[in-house]
Amino acid sequence: MLVLYDVSSSYLEGRKCELARFGYSRDHRRDRPQIVYGLLCNRDGLPVAVEVFPGDTGDPATLGEQVAKLRARFRLTRVVIVGDRGMITNARIRDELKPAARFNSRCSTITTWRRSAPPSSFPASA
């Protein structure tokens, strides 16, 4: 299953949200607490799942939970995740994703491509 994943955030005006924290503000509102949310979509861009995290959660820290969620909820044995390089780092793959992959030999290879060097099978951009 091919999964598209991205993280965003929204700042809050209220004071009652248990997940509201000060963190990296994509809205440039460092004076307001925020929540972070991760959206999983299928290959057609249709939402599969969304999860809300505390506002001080970094994007890469959400990835391991999402892989575990996909495996458990949808009983997947092989998952391909597309995300930006700030989220899917070599350290994250080594520390969080590879240990989970050891349980299933069909999911033991994780490949990353840098934006500057796409795989040769991708068409050149016009």
Q: Is the pTM of this model over 0.95?
A: no
* pLDDT 10s digits, 11-54: 998 888 999 999 988 889 999 999 999 998 888 989 988 999 99
- Assess if residue 15 is contained within a domain: yes
- Assess if residue 125 is contained within a domain: no
Question: SS3 string of the chain?
Answer: CEEEEEEEEEECCCCCCCCCECCCCCCCCCCCCEEEEEEEECCCCCEEEEEEEECCCCHHHHHHHHHHHHHHHHCCCCCEEECCCCCCCHHHHHHHHHHHHCCCHHHCCCCCCCCCCCCCCCCCCC
- Assess if residue 14 is contained within a domain: yes
- Assess if residue 123 is contained within a domain: no
Q: Which domain holds residue 60?
A: 2-107
Counting the structural domains of the chain, the total is 1
- Assess if residue 117 is contained within a domain: no
* pLDDT 10s digits, 24-34: 888 899 999 99
